[in-house]
Chains A and B, each alone.
Chain A
Amino acid sequence: MAEWKFTAKDFAQIPERFASGHRACAGCGPAIAMRLVLKAARGPVIATNSTGCMEVVSTIYPYTAWRIPWIHTAFENVAANAAGIETALKILKKKGRLKYEHVDVIAFGGDGGTYDIGFQALSGAAERGHDFLYVLYDNEAYMNTGIQRSGGTPLGAWTTTSPAGRVIPGKTERKKPIADIMVAHEIPYVATATISEWRDLVLKARKGMEVEGPAFLHVLAPCPRGWRYDTSKTVEIARLAVETCIFPLWEAENGEYKLSPASKKIALKSELKKPVEEYLKTQGRFRHLFKPENKHIIERIQKEVDRRWQKLLKLCGIA
């Protein structure tokens, strides 16, 4: 398919589907991600959210930030929400009861609703091949309930359920490689993106809608409350995640991995790859790692990042 071409001006002129005035915190990464993704829709679109920050901040009755039809049902089933909507649209169209040529269906889930409680519904929907875009807005913990650890929380991070204690220094487990797991489902399109690389994010969202079948977009979306940084730093921190290769940007079309520009630049010029400390030191959730006794954790994080980066380069046919 032809890549969507647009200028920044064109993009600015696309009407907002996610209205301003919602109740997200200042500096909220997920709100930026959702706004950008929705701007990428081709035309008529229906969205659905899992329970979480973005559902809560966008819909306190009788207000709503949704200028498109939108439904929320529960926490663990947003992929099933999308499956039901997509199936209904298909059969209603077949029966001549749908007035639209096509309606894009987008499911938004946080990391808790995707890595953890919603994974079964997601895996099932992917296996059945529903035509929808699943957007994981990953702020790396259960932020809505007050910063609890999820399967998407990175190694070493402090959360309220993986506190930096005297004996256990934050989360001791790694982040689940969710995007790779979705590639393993052999769905047509999987990609990672973040809000600092907004054009890359938007193009991937559009591509995810354009492919026939399930598409999965993993968006790293920093959270100032949970990550403990100043609200003005959201985009910078997202960029550092890419520059340190903690969160490389890539896409896999029909299982073929390909690095996206921001990460490809680093792959071609390895001296651009920043040490993980540069990312970790920006956030209070990693503060305890800089104590002398926890130095080994930073080393372990660096080792993990390097290992995964090499693996990714191999998958992309670079290393």
Chain B
Amino acid sequence: MAKIAQKVIALSGDEAVAYAVKQCDVDVVAAYPITPQTIIVERFSEYVANGEVDTAFICVESEHSALTCCLTAAATGARAFTATASAGLALMHEVLGVTSGCRAPVVMAIVNRALSAPINIHCDHSDSMAERDMGWIHIYAENSQEAYDSIIQAFRIAEHPDVLLPTLVGLDGFVLSHTLENVNVLPDDAVKGFVGERKFPLVRNHEGKMIPFKLDPENPLTIGPLDLYDYYFEHKRQQEEAMKKAYEVIRQVHEEYAELSGRRYGNGLVEPYRLEDAEIAVVCIGSTAGTVKTVVDELRGKGVKAGLLRIRVFRPLPVQDIIQWLSDKKAVGVMDRACSFGGNGGPLFHEIRHALYDLPNRPPVTNYIYGLGGRDTSPHLIHKVYQDLQRIAETGRVEQLVSFIGLRE
């Protein structure tokens, strides 16, 4: 149960993101428009123009500069946010690694959209999956409500002194970004109180002084130096350590937020749906989980023991949760809305299968690539996936490791 009364307002996914950012006492927003993220930038510009936020908005000339501005603003002590999609994220690519390497806790919304070419404005996850290894925490929302909730949580996670990693929140382009949904919103002061003020861990500077980790003329700090074979490796290792610490922080922040709002998404890392006693399971990311849940309910009505594991946090990969929820299944089908060309399966498939590899009796795992470029993912298609999984469960054999579903072949 929620501690406080909330308003219900009709918001699209993009609007829900903008609304959350408005409530998080963000100091700097720098963004560049790209479909289907544009509404976030537009709404936020309106908040600024109407004096509804105490935020400096930098309407930059490119996504590369958008993230750069957020990075250096964050390094100067500000709370910073940006949003992008597809080609915009690809253009930012270089700065993603710099942001995590500089340990700048920027929060970014990714309105997931296919990558060119051919150019396509609709949903798939190829944009953010291509950024898998850039040192960002990845959270994916199933609906606009969760997009709103996740943005608020993201600031707490990113800025946590044990973590200090940039965090992205993915929401499916058009499916969520442009679709109105009833969204429960917390009062402004509740969000402000939850997010709190940015904390700065103490670091040792070149003079041997312990100083707050930011650019401050009284306490000079060199950020982003040349760092060669004698220290670079240790610094990268620290990022991995921060990712490990992030598991617990994500869970705690999610739990604290659940107490405040009354909303929870599994344990914050994964969300199982009718999975406890399921024999066959689908694993997926994002809005498709909504469709899968409907299909699971239908199948359960027919006595089929179907379940779903939605991966909410993709980085850090919740390996223990994946093992816990999937180890006893008779068949696992991983749905990927992205293609790793020549990689023998999609990115989520690789990760799930890898997580299960060390089990003495691991379930058969198969991969379904679906929905690229916004191709509709109907319940009918999900039914076919479960039928396939039933067959695998019966025979114990995977006939085809990677299938492309819902397309002409």
Interface magnitude class on chain A: 35 or more
Give every chain B residue within 8 A of A5 (Cβ-Cβ). Answer: none
For the complex, what is the distance from the CA of A252 to the CA of B65, rounded to whole Å?
A: 27
For the complex, what is the distance from the CA of A61 to the CA of B223, rounded to whole Å?
A: 10
Determine if A36 is an interface residue (Cβ-Cβ < 8 Å).
no
Contact of A77 among B68, B76, B231 (CB under 8 A): B68
Determine if A45 is an interface residue (Cβ-Cβ < 8 Å).
yes
Determine if B402 is an interface residue (Cβ-Cβ < 8 Å).
no
Give every chain A residue within 8 A of B287 (Cβ-Cβ). Answer: none
A90 x B56 contact (CB < 8 A)? yes
For the complex, what is the distance from the CA of A45 to the CA of B220, rounded to whole Å?
A: 10
Closest residue of chain A to B101 (Cβ to Cβ) is: A73
Determine if A70 is an interface residue (Cβ-Cβ < 8 Å).
yes
B225 x A72 contact (CB < 8 A)? yes
Give every chain A residue within 8 A of B221 (Cβ-Cβ). Answer: 69-70
Interchain nearest-CB distance for B167 vs A (Å): 18
Contact of B226 among A46, A59, A120 (CB under 8 A): A59
Knowing A69-B215, A71-B72, A77-B64, say if A83 contacts B58 (CB, 8 Å): yes
Give every chain A residue within 8 A of B222 (Cβ-Cβ). Answer: 59, 64, 66, 69-71
Determine if A14 is an interface residue (Cβ-Cβ < 8 Å).
no
For the complex, what is the distance from the CA of A60 to the CA of B222, rounded to whole Å?
A: 10
A124 x B220 contact (CB < 8 A)? no
Q: Can you name 20 A-B pairs with beta carbons within 8 Å?
A: A44-B218, A45-B217, A46-B76, A59-B225, A63-B206, A66-B222, A69-B223, A73-B72, A81-B71, A83-B58, A84-B69, A84-B70, A84-B72, A85-B215, A87-B58, A88-B56, A88-B73, A100-B217, A121-B64, A128-B58
B225 x A60 contact (CB < 8 A)? yes
13 new A-B contacts, CB < 8 A, other than A44-B218, A84-B71, A128-B60, are A60-B226, A61-B231, A68-B217, A74-B68, A74-B95, A77-B95, A80-B60, A81-B72, A83-B68, A88-B74, A91-B55, A123-B61, A128-B59
Interchain nearest-CB distance for A252 vs B (Å): 23
Contact of B64 among A67, A76, A82 (CB under 8 A): A76
What sequence of 0s and 1s flags, for each residue 129-159 of chain A, a beta carbon within 8 Å of any chain B beta carbon?
Answer: 0000000000000000000000000000000
B-binding residues in A (CB < 8 A): 43-46, 48, 55-56, 59-64, 66-74, 76-77, 79-85, 87-92, 94-95, 97, 99-100, 103, 120-121, 123-125, 127-128
Closest residue of chain A to B57 (Cβ to Cβ) is: A87
For the complex, what is the distance from the CA of A120 to the CA of B91, rounded to whole Å?
A: 13
A80 x B72 contact (CB < 8 A)? yes
**Best-surrounded residue of B27, B54, B68, B219 (most CB of chain A within 10 A):** B68
Determine if B216 is an interface residue (Cβ-Cβ < 8 Å).
yes
For the complex, what is the distance from the CA of A66 to the CA of B220, rounded to whole Å?
A: 8
Closest residue of chain A to B211 (Cβ to Cβ) is: A69
Contact of B223 among A70, A97, A121 (CB under 8 A): A70
For the complex, what is the distance from the CA of A71 to the CA of B70, rounded to whole Å?
A: 13
Interchain nearest-CB distance for B133 vs A (Å): 18
Interchain nearest-CB distance for A96 vs B (Å): 11
Closest residue of chain B to A19 (Cβ to Cβ) is: B206
B216 x A69 contact (CB < 8 A)? yes
Give every chain A residue within 8 A of B358 (Cβ-Cβ). Answer: none
Interchain nearest-CB distance for A75 vs B (Å): 9
For the complex, what is the distance from the CA of A126 to the CA of B217, rounded to whole Å?
A: 24
A84 x B73 contact (CB < 8 A)? yes
Give every chain B residue within 8 A of A69 (Cβ-Cβ). Answer: 215-217, 219-223
For the complex, what is the distance from the CA of A46 to the CA of B219, rounded to whole Å?
A: 11
B78 x A83 contact (CB < 8 A)? no
Interchain nearest-CB distance for B121 vs A (Å): 24
